[in-house]
Chains A and B, each alone.
Chain A
Amino acid sequence: MTRRSLALDVAIGAAALALLALLPLVFPSKALVDFLIRGSALALFATSLNFLVGYGGMVSFGHGMFFGLGAYSFALLMQRTGMPIPAAFALALIMCAALAFVVGVICVRLNEIYFAFLTLAFQMLVHSVIILWVPLTGGDQGLRGGIPRPPFLGINLANQMHLYLMSCTLLIAGLVLLHHLVQSPFGYTLRMIRDNAARASFLGVAVLRVRLTAFVLAGVFAGIGGVIMSLFVSGAYPEFAYWTISGEGIFMIMLGGLNSFLGPVAGTVILLVLNDFVTRVTEYYGLTLGTVILLFALGLRRGLLDVLVDLWHRNSPFSKVKA
């Protein structure tokens, strides 16, 4: 893996954003725009989860709590206070960071399996609180009544195209930032801890602090995904904080490839397309999706992008093959 400069990342991101912006002009379809907004939210969520799982070796089963909290806190702030959208956005992310800090302090010292299950327990606790606190959250009915969207800086999120461009921008900006983090000394420290925490600590790395920082960062980026989702559905639902969403995040990572930075994005597209396609074609959704998952797990044995990257390395004469 070679280091790329931030400038190059930004340039690639800008090009990708331009392509995404042109897409609806070439294929004017509301379904496509909806798909990509939903995809942006979930891709950001999955990539932030992979920041923990793939780079940090911290398998979180509770990452959905930040997705849910981002969605609920943004939607509630907009409904109850009428503050400008950027302010509510920032506050929602601060709340995600605060929750991630508290949960992280308790969880990051645990080893793999117990870390996974304690994060799961916290997530379900958040979910239970959402169900319980009916006056604030609407309970199991979800938060209804829509989200007010006062225009700001000439952006009107009530317009589906504006929302689309905003979602794409947040996705690309989030990916560029996360990629920068992954390529930074911090990212390499995180990988060192994943591979050998004891050695990292002998070298003077504050292991728990690095893990906690990564946990908080991942929580914030998952929160951005939640905010996009709440704008897309105009509300928030308890399912956003249910364990199934964390499970989906893991499947996205695994289907797309956990060793490639863009693997989770590819996985998101695969899972969403499968979901939409399979439910349209057959009533045996589980049988079909289950078989596809097994083909990936037992046939490819890796995510799609990991396989492609391997093939590329094997066939490219310029590659310096590295595990």
Chain B
Amino acid sequence: MDLIALASCLSSPACIVTQSTGGLIIGMLLFLVAAGLTLIFGVLKVINFTHGSFYMLGAYFALTIFQFTGSYTLTILGAGAATAIVGLVFERLFISRVYGQNVLMQLLVCYGFVLIFDDVVKIVWGVEFKSMGMPPAFQLPPLFIAGGVVPPFYLFLIGMAFLIGLALWLVIDKTRLGKTIRAVAHNPSMVAALGINTGFLYGLVFALGGLLAGFAGALAAPVRSLTPGMGFSILIESFIVTVIGGMGSIMGAFVAALALGLIRSFGSLGFPLFTDGLMYLFMVVVLIARPTGLFGKEIA
């Protein structure tokens, strides 16, 4: 433990700024992944264990698209779209076969794909660490905010993730499509009886989850190194986020993701060996106090 380092950081505005932006980056990427996860769970009651792999695929798609086009805008859009297609195909061909079955059977199917996607990435892109590099538009001198160093891309990442989250909220909360999605989450057979194609909606929700994970992968690609196992760690962390926030609650995912990002960022100063432990401790405390998570509703 290194409480002195933590205390000295908390007494310096520069350090607080640096650590906070670091924490926000972690938190925002986590949010994008966890939002898809929690959306899929809320609507389909499926715990999508392949969601980390979607994030990984998004990042690798981004790498390839950026190498070919050199345009980061195209990279983000392309990676999101490609991952959305992966999500759609995965749901229509495989996950749709195990709806209503034992949760563990769904988990098994997902885990099979986690292994397969990891190997596919190894075959296509190789086992070694890859890095996309910073897009030229962001190769600018860092900003200084209250003495803290903040790379401009960090601000872009946080802003983009925030806008994507806002757009997601508008779609789910304000549009007719969002209303239908919420209805199908509530009572699928009633929605089907009203003549709405629920299979199509399920596929769409998975595609939306894939889109979010793909965006997250593309936004992470310039600041993270890409490895075939990168989906695994974000998977566990985004599970913590969805559980703390309450399964199915996008707002909960947002709050929990930011909290977790800040815990990771400041915790790594004070408790370098126990950073992961802090996250789990946080989760234990939240679940003991509120067994359905911060924003969760009782599911019978």
Residues of A within 8 A of B (CB): 53, 59, 106, 109-114, 117-118, 120-122, 124-125, 127-129, 131-132, 134, 139, 243, 247, 250-251, 253-254, 258, 284-287, 289-291, 293-294, 296-298, 301
Residues in A whose Cβ lies below 8 Å from that of B274: 128, 131-132
Most chain A CB within 10 A, of B98, B103, B284, is at: B284
Number of interface residues of B (CB under 8 A): 42
Could you tell me the distance between the alpha carbons of A113 and B284 in the complex, rounded to whole angstroms? 14
Query: Contact: A291 with B104, CB < 8 Å?
Result: no
Name the residue among B103, B114, B243, B300 with the largest chain A CB count within 10 angstroms. B243
List 22 A-B residue pairs with CB atoms under 8 Å apart, sorted by A's residue number: A53-B104, A111-B300, A112-B103, A114-B292, A117-B239, A117-B283, A121-B243, A121-B284, A124-B236, A129-B277, A132-B273, A134-B273, A254-B105, A254-B108, A258-B104, A286-B115, A286-B118, A287-B119, A290-B111, A297-B98, A297-B108, A298-B97
Answer whether residue B247 sits at the interface, using C-beta atoms and an 8 A cutoff.
yes
Residues of B within 8 A of A294 (CB): 94, 109, 112-113, 116
CA distance A258 to B112 in the complex (A): 18
**Interfacial chain A residues near B120, Cβ < 8 Å:** 287
Tell me the number of A-to-B contacts counted with CB atoms below 8 Å.
123
Q: Which residues of A contact B115 (CB under 8 A)?
A: 285-287, 289-290, 293
Question: In the bound complex, do residue B111 and residue A293 qualify as a contact, i.e. CB atoms below 8 Å apart?
Answer: yes
Task: Choose among B116, B281, B293, B300 the residue that contacts A286 (Cβ–Cβ < 8 A).
Answer: B116
Q: Contact between A290 and B112 (Cβ–Cβ < 8 Å)? A: yes
* Majority DSSP secondary structure for residues of A touching B: helix
With A127-B276, A254-B108, A298-B98 given, name 8 new contacts (CB 8 A): A117-B287, A118-B284, A121-B243, A132-B273, A132-B277, A251-B108, A287-B115, A289-B112
Q: Which residue of A lies closest to B107 (CB)?
A: A250
Closest CB pairs A-B (n = 8): A128-B277, A290-B115, A286-B115, A293-B112, A290-B116, A286-B119, A287-B119, A290-B112
Q: How far is the CA of A294 from the CA of B98 in the complex (A)?
A: 11
User: Is the CB–CB distance between A285 and B119 below 8 Å?
Assistant: yes
Chain B interface, DSSP helix/strand/loop, else mixed: helix
Q: Least Cβ distance of A119 to chain B in Å?
A: 10
Instruction: List chain A residues, Cβ under 8 A from B287.
Output: 110, 114, 117-118, 121
Residues of B close to A129: CB separation below 8 A: 277
What does the 1/0 interface line of B263-296 toward A look like (CB < 8 Å)? 0000000000110110011011001100111000
A112 to B114, CA, bound (A): 23
Interface status of B4 (Cβ within 8 A of chain A): no
Distance in Å from the Cβ of B193 to the closest Cβ of chain A? 27
Least CB distance from B101 to A in Å reads 8
By a CB distance below 8 angstroms, the chain B residues around A122 are: 280, 284
Chain A residue with minimal CB distance to B45?
A113
**Which residues of chain B come closer than 8 Å to A243, judged between CB atoms?**
236
A296/B108 in contact, CB under 8 A: yes
Q: How far apart are the CA atoms of A57 and B220 in the complex, in Å?
A: 39
Q: Does B123 contact A (CB under 8 A)?
A: yes
Closest chain A residue to B108 by CB distance? Answer: A297
Given contacts A117-B243, A286-B116, A291-B116, contact A109 B104 (CB under 8 A): no
Most buried by B among A111, A122, A297: A297
- Chain A residue nearest to B113 (CB atoms) is A290
**Interface positions of B from 42 to 94, Cβ below 8 Å from A:** 47, 94
